[in-house]
Amino acid sequence: MKFNIIYSNKARQQIGLLRVDKSLEKRYKSVIKTIALMSVDLRHPSLNTHEFSSLSKRLGIKVFESYAENNTPGAYRVFWVYAERQGDIEIIAITPHP
Cα 45 to the center of its chain, rounded Å: 15
Residues 32-44 as b or e (16 or more Cβ within 10 Å = b) = eebbeebeeebee
> Distance of CA 30 to CAs 51, 72, 83, 86, 98, Å?
21, 12, 23, 26, 18
pTM for this entry: 0.93
Of the candidates 46, 43, 81, 42, the one whose C-alpha atom is nearest the C-alpha of residue 67 is 46
51 — phi, psi (to 5°)? -70, 140
Q: What is the pLDDT of residues 12-30, one digit of tens each?
A: 999 999 999 999 999 999 9
Q: What is the pLDDT of residues 30-66, one digit of tens each?
A: 999 999 999 999 999 999 999 999 999 999 999 999 9
Q: Is 78 in contact with 34 (CB distance < 8 Å)?
A: yes
Q: What is the DSSP secondary-structure string of 33-67?
A: HHHHHHHH-TT-GGG--EE-HHHHHHHTS--EEEE
Query: Which three-class secondary structure state does DSSP give residue 23?
Result: helix
Class of domain 4-96 as given by CATH: alpha beta
